[in-house]
Amino acid sequence: MTTTTTELTGSGAAPGAAPARVAKRRNGGGLGTYLLIRFLLIIPTVFILVTTVFFLMRSTGDPITAALGGRLTGEQLAERVREAGYDRPLLVQYFEYLGNVFTGDFGTAISDNRPITEMLTTFGAATLELVFYALIVAFLVGIPLGRLAAYLRDRWPDAVLRVFAIVCYATPVFFFGMLLKLVFAVNLGWLPVAGRASTGADIQLQQLDGSTGIYLIDAIRLGDGEVIADVLEHAVLPAIALGLLTAGIFLRLVRTNVIGTLGMGYVEAARSRGVAERRLLKKHAYRPALIPIITVIGLQVALLLSGAVLTETTFEWKGLGFQLTEYIEARDFVAVQGIVVLLAVIVAVTNFIVDVIAALIDPRVRY
C-alpha cells in the first residue's frame, strides 16, 4: 500500500534511471562484471535490513516477555528469558543472530515453535501463488490500459483511465477486499468468501504426494477438474484486490513511459518516415519504454509484498503475509523478525533478478 505513490514519482524519473544505470554499467565493463557487482550488492542490502530490523524489534524488549509476559510471574519469566539467552548484551545476541541468518537459520517462532525457514516452503508457496495471480491481473489490466491511455493522451478516456489508476491505489486493499467480498461472495454468492480452497478440495490437495504448496499446480497434478475450478474460484477475489492495486501502478507507469518515449527523437524520426501511429506506439515507443518499466516493476515487488500482507489477511490466504500478521497479533517478535528478514531477502533477490532481466533486454548492455 505504502510505496504506491512514491514509486510513481520514481516512475517519472524512471526513464532516466535506466540509461543512467546503463551508463554506469558500460563504464563498469562487461555484463558479467555488472551482474557480479549487482549480485554482491545483495549482501549489504540484506545485512542492513537484518540489522535494522533486529535492533528495532529488540528495542521493545525481549520476545519472551512479549509473548508470555502476561501468564508468568516475574521470576518464571526471568528464568525463561535467561534460558533463552535474551538477558545477554544486545550486541552479543546481534552477532549470534547475524551468524545464524548467514547460515540460513532465521530463528524459530516462539509461539508455535516453527523454524522460520520452514515457513518459506509452507507459506512462501501460497504467497508466490497469490503474487503470481495478482501479477497476471496487473499485467492484463495495467499494461494494455496504460498503452491505451498513452495513445489517447489528454482525451477523456485517458483522464478516466488515470483516475481509475489512482483510485486503484488510493483504495486501501483491505477496504477494497471487503467490498469485493461483500458484493461477490455475500450478495451475489458467486465466489467463496476466503481461503485458498474449500474443505474438500483442501484435503485432497494436502494428501497429494509431494504437494508443492502451490494449489493450482497441485490441483492440476491431481487432475480433478472440480478441484482446479475450486482453487481458481478462491483465487479470483484476492487476485483482483492485489492485482488492481498493482495494475493502477502499472497503468500509470506504462502511460508515463510510453508518452515519454513517444516524445523521443527516434519516434519522431520514425513518424517522419511514415510509420503508422499504431505501430509507433506498439513497437517504436513501447519497446524502449519497457526497460524503465521493468526496472520500476522490480521495485514494485516490495509494494506487492506490502499489499500481499493486507490482501492475505483480508482473504485468509495463508501465506507469509497472513502469517506475519498472525505473529504480530501474537506478539511473537522472533517470528515477525524472521519473516520480515525473509521477505527482505526475497525482495533483494527479486530486485536483482529484475535488474538482470532489464539488463538483458537492453541492447546497450547486452553488447
Partner 1 sequence: MSAGNPVVGIENLSVSFATDIGTVDAVRDVSLGVAAGEVLAIVGESGSGKTVTARSILGLLPETALTRGAILLNSKDGGSTHDVVTLRGARLGEVRGRDAAMVFQEPSTALNPVFPVGWQIAEGLRAHGKYSKREAREKAIDVLRRVGIPDPEHRVDHYPHQFSGGQKQRIVIAQALVLDPGVIIADEPTTALDVTVQAEILDLLRRCRDEFGAAIVLITHNMGVVADLADRVAVMYQGRIVEQADVRSLFSAPQEPYTQQLLAAVPRLGRGVARTRERAAARPAGWQEATPVVSARDLRIVYPGRLRQPDFVAVDGVSFDIRPGEVLGLVGESGSGKTTIGRAIAGLTKVTGGSLQVLGTEMNGVREKAFRPVRERIGFVFQDPASSFNPLLTIAEAVAEPLVVHRRARDARAARPRVDELLEQVQLPKAFGDRYPHELSGGQRQRASLARSLALEPALLIADEPTSALDVSVQARVLELFDELQREHGFAALFISHDLAVVDLLADRIAVLYKGRLVEEGTGAEVLGAPRHPYTQRLLASLPVPHPDEQARRRALWEQLRAADGG
Partner 2 sequence: ACGGGDDGGGGDSGGGGGTLTIGTTDKVTTLDPAGSYDNGSFAVMNQVFPFLMNTPPGSPDVEPDIAESAEFTAPTQYTVTLKPGLKWANGNDLTSSDVKFTFDRQVAIADENGPSSLLGNLDSVETPDDTTVVFNLKSENDQTFPQILSSPAGPIVDEDVFSATELTPDQEIVDGNAFHGQYVITNYDLNNLVSYEAYPDYQGLLGEPKTAQVNVKYYADASNLKLDIQEGNIDVAWRSLSATDIEDLRGNDEVNVVDGPGGEIRYIVFNFNTQPYGAATPEADPAKALAVRQAVAHLIDREELAEQVYKGTYTPLYSFVPEGLTGATEPLREKYGDGEGGPDAEKAAQVLEAAGVQTPVQLSLQYSNDHYGPSSGDEYALIKDQLESDGLFAVDLQTTEWVQYSEQRTEDVYPAYQLGWFPDYSDADNYLTPFFRAENFLGNHYENPQVDQLIAQQVATPDPAERTALIEQIQDLVADDLSTVPYLQGAQVAVTGADVEGAEDTLDPSFKFRYGALSKG
Partner 3 sequence: MSTATSSEVAPAPAPAPRADRGWKTLPLVRQVRQSVGLQRGMLVAGLVLSALFLLVAIFAPLLAPYEYNQLRDPSGAFGAQQEPSSAHWLGTTVGGYDVLSRVIWGSRTALYVIVVALLLSFFVGVLLGLVSGYFGGWLDRVLVVLCDAVYAFPSLLLAIVVAIAISGGESSLWGGIMAAAIAITVVFIPQYFRVVRAETVRIKSEAFVESAKVIGASHRRIMFRHVLRNATRTLPLILTLNASEAVSTLAALGFLGFGIEPTAAAEWGYDLKRALADVSSGIWWTSVFPGLAIVLVVLGLTLVGESLNDLADPRLRTRRRAVVTPADVAETTVVPGGALGAGPGGLGGLQDRDDGRRFAQ
> What is the binding site for partner 2 (CB under 8 A)?
60-61, 64-66, 68-74, 76, 80, 83-84, 110-114, 181, 185-186, 189, 191-195, 198-204, 206-208, 222-224, 226-227, 229-230, 233-234, 313-316, 318, 322, 325-326, 329-331
User: Which CB atom, from 223 or from 363, has the smaller least distance to partner 2?
Assistant: 223
Which of 147, 252, 284, 318 is in the footprint of partner 1 by CB under 8 A? 284
CA distance linking residue 143 with residue 264, whole number of Å: 20
Query: Left if phi > 0, otherwise alpha if psi is -120 to 50, otherwise beta: which for 213?
Result: left
User: Which CB atom, from 88 or from 364, has the smaller least distance to partner 1?
Assistant: 364
Which of 343, 358, 359, 365 is in the footprint of partner 3 by CB under 8 A? 343
Beta carbons within 8 Å of 324's beta carbon, 6+ residues apart: 309, 336, 339, 340, 343
Q: Does 275 bind partner 1 (CB under 8 A)?
A: yes
Q: Does 90 bind partner 3 (CB under 8 A)?
A: no
- Which of partner 2, partner 1, partner 3, none sits in contact with 224, Cβ below 5 to 8 A by type? partner 2
- Which of partner 3, partner 2, partner 1, none sits in contact with 269, Cβ below 5 to 8 A by type? partner 1
User: Which CB atom, from 122 or from 171, has the smaller least distance to partner 3?
Assistant: 171
Q: Which of 319, 317, 352, 324 is nearest to 338 (CA)?
A: 324
Which of 99, 100, 266, 360 is in the footprint of partner 1 by CB under 8 A? 266
In the chain, what is the greatest distance between 2 CA atoms, to the nearest angstrom? 84
Binding mask 1-30 for partner 1 (x = CB under 8 A): -----------------------x--xxx-
Task: Give least dist CB 89 to partner 2, A.
Answer: 19
User: Which CB atom, from 244 or from 365, has the smaller least distance to partner 1?
Assistant: 365
Contacts 24+ apart (CB under 8 A), 274-280: 277/151
- Which of partner 2, partner 1, partner 3, none sits in contact with 103, Cβ below 5 to 8 A by type? none
Task: Give least dist CB 108 to partner 2, A.
Answer: 10
Q: Does 324 bind partner 3 (CB under 8 A)?
A: yes
Q: Does 262 bind partner 3 (CB under 8 A)?
A: yes
Residues within the interface to partner 1 (CB under 8 A): 24, 27-29, 33, 37, 264-277, 279, 283-284, 287-288, 290-291, 361-364, 367
